[in-house]
Amino acid sequence: MCTIEKRGSLFILILDSDEDDQHRLNPTLISSILSALSEIKSQSTTGSALITVAHGGSGKFFCNGFDFRWAQAVSSQSDARRRLRQMTDSFREVVAAFVSLPMPTVAAISGHVAAAGLVLAFVHDYLLMRSDHGVMYMPEVNLGITLPDYFAAAMRAKIGSPMALRDVVARGVKVRAKEAMEMGIVHSIHDNVESTIEAAMRLGEELVNKKWVGETYAEIRKSLYPELCSALGLTHNLIISKI
Amino acid sequence: MCSLEKRGNLFFLTLTGDDQHRLGPPLISSILSTLSKISSESTPGSVLITTAHGKYFSTGFDLSYARSASSPSEAVDRLKAMVKSLRPVAAAFMSLPMPTIIAVNGHAAAGGFMFPICHDYILMRRDHGVLFMPEVDLALPLPDYFATVMRERIRSPAALRDMMLRGVKVTAEEGVKMGIVDSVYDSTERTMDAAVRLGEELSRRKWNGEVYAEIRKSLYPESCRILGLTQKPLVSKI
């Protein structure tokens, strides 16, 4: 499940660990994130910003992707596939909600982030990562699973170098913070989980101080990732709030 | 306004005056007709060098002209008209049948940053001037063709985010690191000297301008589509 905390204009979305410290995305967590984002959107004002963090448990994982335990807890393979498809479809709405969220978004990556979990990280505007623990990776090629269209679009949108894109998506390379920095995927890296979260808070405050108009912010963001938007079914609106 | 000068094979397009070269209807139409003249006079080996007088290259659309309209809705209409009329300018740069070099003499912001980004080579002085997109701060959306050209020319996702979603002011040297600016120089004069040297070097290749333009267009297919430019295969000689 996830919870929201609000400090001034900063929203903090916390993936908590009551049931699963890997924060695997199953229907419960997906719908919990979706309703949290909808709540945040409805409360947003000029100068809001969002920080996503993962708490609790062993602290080893930020998000380890779709919950395959849940998908496989059925009697037939076709039912398992149906469950995976269900998660893929419902998580698409989470990604769409992030891409159209009317405020800057920051993710404090406190541990491993894999598959759908990496997509969740990538839909934030700024990724901060601890350097003492955790890797980012896309295990699909190892698992023999293709990427949903919006996963691939998110990867292409956020990984600029063709070689880095190949290594992450088509090679399943496990990318540590320092390597992610070199690849231009993360905004900054920090010594441990505490300093990562502190840096995320500082960045959040800095972005809040910009007092950006959220609606325009979201439209500019969307204009940067047209292929991702089209995979998500998001349309673009030209908003001139003032001149 | 802008002036056109020709020295040998080099065309010099200069935004004149010491002001901010705000892109209002007169400047936009003056640039467009100059580009059309350059295009019609081009021969193999032609090269364009664009620059501006003073401390600014251009700070974008003339918002004070828009705001001087009699009503807010007319102000928005004026802005929309400027956005619309700059589109053929971007299209003209993108399809100009010769290599294009810009010597950035000072700030290039918003619509003014569209100029460097539509040139093949960006040379910039390091002692003054920043490149930036203030739309996020002004709560103005990016026109569709701005966003498209930026995406095709700024390939690092982090650089793109910093410029478009954060309004970061990029100095010449940062521009080199971000892969936006080709090279930097100590002053306007040195930037211009370097632009002329590069222009002469490119001119000696005597490239077929039509083919050059088609090759350029093939590098930026999304921009061409949104600017209404079509591509055609050409074989001038084999």
Strand-pair partners of B15: B2, B52
Interface test with B, best of A207, A240, A241 (most B CBs within 10 A): A240
Q: Which of helix, strand or coil describes residue A103?
A: coil
Cβ-based contacts of A187 with chain B (< 8 Å): 158
Give a yes or no: residue A75 inside a domain.
yes
Rounded to the nearest integer, the mean pLDDT of chain B is 96
Query: Based on the structure, what is the number of domains in chain A?
Result: 1
Chain B residue numbers touching A220 (CB-CB < 8 A): 135-136, 141-142, 147, 164-165
In a domain? residue A46 = yes
Task: Determine the pLDDT at residue A241.
Answer: 65
Q: CATH number for the domain including A181?
A: 3.90.226.10
Instruction: Give me the domain span that covers residue A22.
Output: 2-232
**Are residues A216 and B140, on separate chains, in Cβ contact within 8 Å?**
yes
CB A213 to CB B164 under 8 A? no
Express each pLDDT in B108-141 by its tens digit.
999 999 999 999 999 999 999 999 999 999 998 8
A238 is a domain residue: no
Residue A222 in any domain: the answer is yes
Q: Taken in order B164, B166, B167, B168, is the CA torsion positive or negative?
A: negative
Does the domain at B2-227 match CATH 3.90.226.10? Answer given as yes
The rounded mean pLDDT for chain A is: 95
pLDDT tens-digit readout, B86-112: 999 999 999 999 999 999 999 999 999
Q: How far is CA A101 from CA A43, A44, A214, B137, B142, in A?
A: 11, 9, 8, 17, 17
* Range of lowest pLDDT (A119-128, A181-190, B41-50, B227-236): B227-236
pLDDT-based confidence at A57, cuts 50/70/90?
A: low
A chain contacts of residue B156, beta-carbon cutoff 8 Å: 160, 184
CA of B67: which chain A residue's CA is closest? A243
| Pair of tokens at residue B46 | 């032609």
With contact defined as beta carbons under 8 Å apart, do B79 and B66 qualify?
yes
Q: Which chain A residue has its CA at the smallest distance from B156's CA? A: A160
pTM (2 decimals)? 0.92
Q: Are B142 and B163 in contact (CB under 8 A)?
A: no
CA distance B141 to chain A (A): 6
Calculate mean pLDDT across residues B164-193: 97
> CB-CB: which of B140, B160, B167 is closest to A224?
B160
Report the SS3 class of residue B165: coil
What residues of chain A lie within 8 A of the CB of B167, using their CB?
A: 210
Chain CA centroid to CA A137, Å? 13
In chain B, domain spans:
2-227
Q: Under an 8 A CB cutoff, do B140 and A125 touch?
A: no
How large is the average pLDDT for residues B157-176? 97
Q: What is the mean pLDDT of residues A197-223?
A: 96
Q: Is residue A93 part of a domain?
A: yes
Residues of A contacting chain B (CB within 8 angstroms):
104, 125-126, 157-160, 184-185, 187, 210, 212-213, 216-217, 219-221, 223-224, 226, 236, 238-243
Neighbours of B233 (CB within 10 A): 7
A240 in any annotated domain:
no
Q: How many residues does chain B have?
A: 238
Mean of pLDDT values over A173-181: 97
